[in-house]
Amino acid sequence: MYERFYNLRERPFSLSPDPDYLYPSRVHREALGYLRYGIEGHAGFVVITGEIGCGKTTLLQTMLRGLDRQTAVSRLVNTMLDARELIEAVMLDFGLDPGQGRSKPHLLRDLARFLVDQRMAGRLALLVIDEAQNLSLTALEEVRMLSNLETEKSKLIQIMLVGQPSLRDLLARPELEQLRQRVTVSYHLEPLDVDETAAYVNHRLRRAAIGAPLQWTRDVTDVVHLHSEGIPRKINVISDAILLFGYGEERRVIDVGLAKEVVEELVSTGVIASRVAPPALASTAPGELVGSMVSAPVASAVSTPAAAAATRPPSPAVATVSDRDLQLREARLTERERRVAEQQRVLMESYRLLRDVREKPISAAQPAAAARSAWPPSRPAPSEQPAVAARTVHADSPAPVRAFAETPVATETFWARLRRGLFGAGKPVEGWRY
């Protein structure tokens, strides 16, 4: 999809638990340290909990990848099992055949022999139970009984329980007091803070880049952190949608405007929960109190699909993100083509009018327009300037007087100019002669 457009070898925000993309945040480093201590120290039960999507499975994948070949691992991911089914699932994952219709004591005997053989060969047997919060009380008690398989020096099997925060509440029940006393290592994964979210996003972009990695600015990652609450799985969902929308709009640089637009789209389609706070209790009727408490921020905790659908805002059309992206892209391209065509039409009209004005001749019926178009007039040469009369000339004046009056100003003496300035033009005198 967008990998080639952004020079990526694969999708950096895939939801699959790939250990290559594990960001070593503070909480994940500490969790890995506790896991290694529990395995290498042959401790009792190891319990790792965290919110939904906090990266527990990715953490397990990373831990299991780091184990050597001297460790036999049985990992259970489907925990909707009763006590007997749990034992059979453990044997199958260790490579043992539980057989058909065999009694539970026979199954436990074969499993114990396998564990002793592993210890004699210098190998460690590790049982990892993911989604352990789904185990029933009888299944958890059966897990505790498995930990009784031990030698005089150490346990024959190392057990690790991984689950959601409800696993802690389950282990706190009085019926599981004996199991709780055997827990020696326990750690809870916290969500990422705003700085770790920025580092997490750019870490994944660097890991997937072919050439120069794509770098997101801090304002973009702040928007992602605000709506993901620091949960890595939510960060992946929002970030993947941002890259998809950016590819649809052909934006090679991801800005905060695009990030906000994508978040609004994901909220409107119910992919992520809204960050809008619930209405004030003072304005809520008593009968509406229960409904108001189930606000959008709490919608992520709904477990059933029907309840989740009821808390989502109504949408006029049900469509996937990719379909909606294609529709938005087509509408924007159509609008862009319309604007370009309108700009071309205006430019052609302006050019036509300018050409008509330049090529149209000036007619005799347009003297005023011609005069305005010829403004300003060119200044005449000094030799062509008309002579300025120094005094009023009458038609019946003698020739000598007219000759004197037609003399240019430049030929007047200083005293003549001074006298004319003080007393004005003089009147001709009868009978005056040179």
Q: Summarize pLDDT for 358-394 with one digit per residue, the tens.
A: 665 544 444 444 444 444 444 444 444 444 444 444 4
Local structure of 429: helix, strand or coil: coil
d(C-alpha 419, C-alpha 99), whole Å: 143
Range(s) of the domain holding residue 91: 26-189
Same-domain pairing of 126 and 176: yes
Q: What is the pLDDT, as a whole number, of residue 416?
A: 65
- How much is the mean pLDDT over the chain? 76
Same-domain pairing of 165 and 221: no
- The reply to whether 338 falls in a domain is yes
Same-domain pairing of 1 and 86: no
Query: What residues contact 152, with CB distance under 8 A and at least 6 apart?
Result: none
pLDDT at 198 > cutoff 80: yes
Query: CA-CA distances (angstroms) from residue 179 to 124, 139, 147, 164, 225?
Result: 21, 12, 9, 18, 37
pLDDT at 57 > cutoff 60: yes
Strand partners for 189: 50
58-72, 161-175, 255-269, 417-431: range with lowest mean pLDDT: 417-431
- The reply to whether 16 falls in a domain is no
Q: What is the pLDDT, as a whole number, of residue 322?
A: 57
Same-domain pairing of 30 and 116: yes
Same-domain pairing of 84 and 223: no
- The reply to whether 356 falls in a domain is no
pLDDT at 324 > cutoff 80: no
Query: CA-CA distances (angstroms) from residue 279 to 101, 274, 300?
Result: 59, 13, 18
C-beta separation of 12 from 207 below 8 A: yes
**Once rounded to an integer, what is the mean pLDDT over residues 8-26?**
91
With cut-offs at 50, 70 and 90, classify the pLDDT of residue 89: very high
Of 167, 189, 211, which residue sits at a domain end? Answer: 189
With cut-offs at 50, 70 and 90, classify the pLDDT of residue 69: confident
Same-domain pairing of 264 and 171: no
- The reply to whether 118 falls in a domain is yes
Q: Which residue has the higher pLDDT, 224 or 315?
A: 224
Of 189, 205, 231, which residue sits at a domain end? Answer: 189
pLDDT at 333 > cutoff 90: no
Q: What is the pLDDT, as a whole number, of residue 424?
A: 61
**Once rounded to an integer, what is the mean pLDDT over residues 36-50?**
86
Same-domain pairing of 64 and 123: yes
Q: What is the pLDDT, as a whole number, of residue 331?
A: 74
**Once rounded to an integer, what is the mean pLDDT over residues 207-223?**
93
With cut-offs at 50, 70 and 90, classify the pLDDT of residue 420: low
pLDDT at 350 > cutoff 70: no
- The reply to whether 373 falls in a domain is no
Same-domain pairing of 200 and 318: yes
Same-domain pairing of 30 and 5: no
Q: Which residue has the higher pLDDT, 240 or 338?
A: 240
| The one-letter amino acid at 117 | D
CA-based end-to-end distance of the chain = 110
Same-domain pairing of 151 and 176: yes
Q: Which residue has the higher pLDDT, 287 or 120?
A: 120
Q: Is the dihedral of CA 59, 64, 68, 72 positive or negative?
A: positive
With cut-offs at 50, 70 and 90, classify the pLDDT of residue 151: confident
Strands across the sheet with 124-129, in order?
A: 71-76, 124-129, 158-163, 45-50, 183-189
- The reply to whether 381 falls in a domain is no
Q: Which residue has the higher pLDDT, 303 or 197?
A: 197
Percent of the chain with pLDDT over 90: 44
Of 174, 189, 204, which residue sits at a domain end? Answer: 189
- The reply to whether 268 falls in a domain is yes
Q: What is the pLDDT, as a whole number, of residue 310?
A: 42
Same-domain pairing of 258 and 141: no
Same-domain pairing of 399 and 341: no
pLDDT digit string, tens, across residues 132-150: 999 999 999 999 999 888 7
CATH for 46 = 3.40.50.300
pLDDT at 426 > cutoff 80: no
Q: What is the pLDDT, as a whole number, of residue 44?
A: 76
- The reply to whether 360 falls in a domain is no
Q: How many domains does the chain have?
A: 3
pLDDT at 415 > cutoff 80: no
